Amino acid sequence: MPLDADCLKSAARDRTGLTDFGDAPIDEGLGVLVASVNATETTPKELAAVESTILGALIERLRIEDWIARHPEVLSQEIKAPVFVVGLPRSGTTALSQFLAEDPAARSLLRWELLNAIPPPDPAGPEDPRLAATRKAFEARDLAMPMYRSMLPVNAEDPAEHSPILGLTFQNIGTSLVHHAPAYQDWVLRQDLRPGYAYLKKVLQILQSKTGASHWNLKAPLDIFGLDALVEVFPDARLVWCHRDPASSIPSNCSLLAMIREASGEHVDRVELGRMKMAAFAEGMRRALAARAAIGDHRFADVVQRELVRDTVGTIERLYGQIGLDFSDAYRTRLTERVASRNEVMAGKVHRYALEDFGLSLAEIRLEFADYLGRFHPSVGA
């Protein structure tokens, strides 16, 4: 059976007993996403995976709106100078975000909280059952995709990308990465992305109402598509841009996406995937460079992936000096321990991929990312 937007909304209402999705955008994007998926050839398993993604987002919208209606005071929370880690996917954003999360002064959006923020976790209480449930889900993920941890070594307690929260407004290009929805991707690229960041702010306010936060540690590579919208909603944001040669980051990302999509039942055309993602991320980079020019270089700090690998502690200490944060002794100790632990986990694990696996060539990558490489070469390793 094809997906039906109204049926999905009714199912979310039935499961929660709630009815109000709030005023933020929902219907147009949901309709485009459903139509895009229905227009592609999908396996039953793949269609079920998309349905689960959509239903989960709708349920979370209902729960968030209900919480705000009952606790309107949470919207008075001030989100002060959050740190946003951005850059092409597979450019070191995950590792950097994990390292920044070791700062005792930082508050990260954790993977077990993502799309499960209600009620906001209370650190004064016992261990939250959502954490144990996410650990079990990650164990199942690793069994289903044994190579996952060699590509992306993340645990339930690690920082999450906030892209799925942007997706609560159904204006999130990330949805078209993990599911085959080309028409939806094209539509999202034409949208005003501010409502998604406004909704992210609401979720952060809800979470912060229970935990407090000296500053937030946030990351989403796909923020390159909406840096102008991001700084409009978070005007004092500190922006950290991770850099890596696109000739490495693009096929690495395609390899990860192919594995995830195949596990969800999709028959992945790797050449189509490679060409779509190269074009999409080249457009994202053009938008990011234009936004950076408008926002101003002084608002950005740059981190090169190979330098982060070579000298993690030194690179982050220099970064803290640039963005005005205190690199405390407690943080240095925890960061050093995290680096050693991550190195141990990754020892002997190799993620193999090649441009040719996805119908791409070095010459094409150099051409598509010429402006980016012209700006940051040779620091990105090109």
Whether 177 is in a domain gets the answer yes
Q: What is the model's pTM?
A: 0.93
pLDDT tens-place string over residues 296-314: 999 999 999 999 999 999 9
Query: Is the peptide bond between 119 and the residue preceding it cis, with omega within 30 degrees of 0?
Result: yes
Whether 349 is in a domain gets the answer yes
Q: What is residue 138's predicted lDDT score, i.e. its pLDDT?
A: 83
Q: Distance between CA 300 and CA 26 in Å, rounded?
A: 32
Contacts of 289 (CB under 8 A, 6+ apart): 371, 372, 375
For the chain of 382 residues, list the mean pLDDT of each consecutive stretch of 10. Answer: 95 98 97 95 89 96 98 97 96 94 95 93 87 89 77 84 95 86 93 96 96 92 96 98 95 91 89 93 96 96 95 97 97 96 78 91 95 82 56
Angle between helices 44-70 and 5-16 (to 10 degrees): 50
Angle between helices 329-346 and 312-323 (to 10 degrees): 140
Whether 206 is in a domain gets the answer yes
| Cα Rg of the chain (Å, integer) | 20
Q: What is residue 180's predicted lDDT score, i.e. its pLDDT?
A: 86
Amino acid at 35: A
Cα separation values, 367 from 31, 232, 309, 374, Å: 35, 31, 27, 10
Amino acid at 109: L
Whether 338 is in a domain gets the answer yes
Q: What is residue 345's predicted lDDT score, i.e. its pLDDT?
A: 76
Instruction: List the structure tokens of 317.
Output: 């200490």
> Is the C-alpha dihedral spanning 196, 202, 205, 210 positive or negative?
negative
Q: What is residue 381's predicted lDDT score, i.e. its pLDDT?
A: 61
Cα separation values, 13 from 16, 44, 314, 326, 358, Å: 5, 24, 50, 46, 41
- Contact at 8 Å (CB) between 116 and 160? no
- Contact at 8 Å (CB) between 301 and 319? yes
Whether 50 is in a domain gets the answer no
3-state secondary structure of 69: helix
CB atoms within 10 A of CB 140: 10
We report the CATH number of the domain holding residue 233 as 3.40.50.300
What's the domain count of the chain? 1
Instruction: List the structure tokens of 364.
Output: 């094409």
Whether 30 is in a domain gets the answer no
Q: Which residue from 4, 138, 110, 116 is spatially nearest to 57, judged by alpha carbons?
A: 116
Q: Which residue from 282, 232, 231 is spatially nearest to 253, judged by alpha carbons?
A: 282
Domain of 149? 81-376
